[in-house]
């Protein structure tokens, strides 16, 4: 059995970026945990406790659908991670990593448009620097629609080199995304349910399967 940690800037990023892969890990007997750095709500005008509660409820529904063992919420300010000293992000993340002791981490692509995604990636790479007796062996980055594909293409493009066949888990991923219905957008938006399903078909076709999620392998130790 493997222990997997999803390090995401916001709740919903885990379902968008690797929901099918999470479901597959769980089906194969792996333990999966998720940590969300920012609250995902506080940057929105007029958002308050009620909106935060709805986001947390959605995250817990998605957790149950995907089979994630536990969600950790760091509660950092949304879309303002760049305003914090990086050490203030790394230290609470390190506590989660020390507790969970994951062998595999999935996190954001460094080139994403969303600043919280970029800072999350940087925090992961710092917290998971290769030290003796560290638990982390593999680090993968995922794509999140309405951020990865909207970034400046010449700056750190997302170039997948690792694919996970989620043909048997596509329905689970879609159900998790529906739990985040308040974060979804109507087609033809790239963060629509319709497009996200088409993306899994495109990534699957690229790899010769019905549906897949694509990643960039950042580090692997064997």
CATH number at residue 105: 3.40.50.10320
pTM for the full predicted model: 0.96
In this predicted structure, what is the pLDDT of residue 53? 87
The mean pLDDT of 147-161, rounded to a whole number, is 95
In our burial notation (b when 16+ CB lie closer than 10 A, e otherwise), range 176-213 reads bbebbeebbeeeeebbbbebbbebbeebbeebebebbb
In this predicted structure, what is the pLDDT of residue 4? 98
When pLDDT is cut at 50, 70 and 90, the band that residue 46 belongs to is low
Q: Residue 29: pLDDT above 70?
A: yes
Query: From CA 205, how far away is CA 222, in angstroms rounded?
Result: 29
**With pLDDT > 70 as the criterion, what percentage of the chain qualifies?**
98
- Domain count for the chain: 1
Q: Residue 47: pLDDT above 70?
A: no
**Sign of the torsion formed by the C-alpha atoms of 123, 75, 191 and 164:** positive
pLDDT digits (tens, 9 = 90+) for 94-137: 999 999 999 999 999 999 999 999 999 999 999 999 999 999 99
State how beta strands 138-142 and 104-108 pair: parallel
In this predicted structure, what is the pLDDT of residue 50? 83
Consecutive H or E run containing 73 = strand 70-76
**With pLDDT > 90 as the criterion, what percentage of the chain qualifies?**
91
Q: Which domain range does residue 57 map to?
A: 3-220
The mean pLDDT of 148-173, rounded to a whole number, is 96
Q: Residue 193: pLDDT above 70?
A: yes
When pLDDT is cut at 50, 70 and 90, the band that residue 165 belongs to is very high
């Amino acid at each position: 059995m493997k222990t997997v940690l999803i390090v995401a800037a916001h709740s919903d990023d885990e379902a968008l970026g690797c929901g099918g892969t999470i479901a597959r890990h769980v089906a194969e007997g792996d333990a999966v945990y998720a940590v969300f750095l920012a609250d995902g709500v506080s940057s929105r005008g007029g958002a308050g406790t009620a909106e935060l509660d709805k986001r947390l409820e959605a995250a817990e529904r998605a957790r149950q659908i995907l089979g994630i063992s536990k969600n950790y919420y760091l509660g950092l300010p949304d879309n303002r991670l760049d305003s914090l000293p990086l050490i203030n992000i790394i230290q609470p993340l390190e506590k989660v990593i020390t507790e969970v002791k994951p062998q595999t981490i999935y996190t954001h692509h460094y080139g994403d448009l969303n600043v919280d995604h970029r800072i999350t990636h940087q925090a992961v790479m710092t917290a998971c620097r290769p030290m003796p007796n560290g638990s982390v062996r593999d680090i993968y980055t995922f794509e999140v629609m309405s951020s990865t594909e909207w970034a400046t293409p010449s700056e750190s493009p997302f170039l997948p080199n690792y694919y996970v066949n989620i043909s048997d888990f596509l329905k689970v991923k879609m159900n998790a995304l529906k739990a985040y219905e308040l974060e979804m957008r109507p087609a033809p938006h790239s963060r629509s349910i319709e497009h996200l399903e088409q993306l899994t078909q495109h990534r699957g076709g690229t790899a010769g399967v019905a549906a897949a999620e694509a990643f960039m392998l950042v580090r692997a130790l064997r």
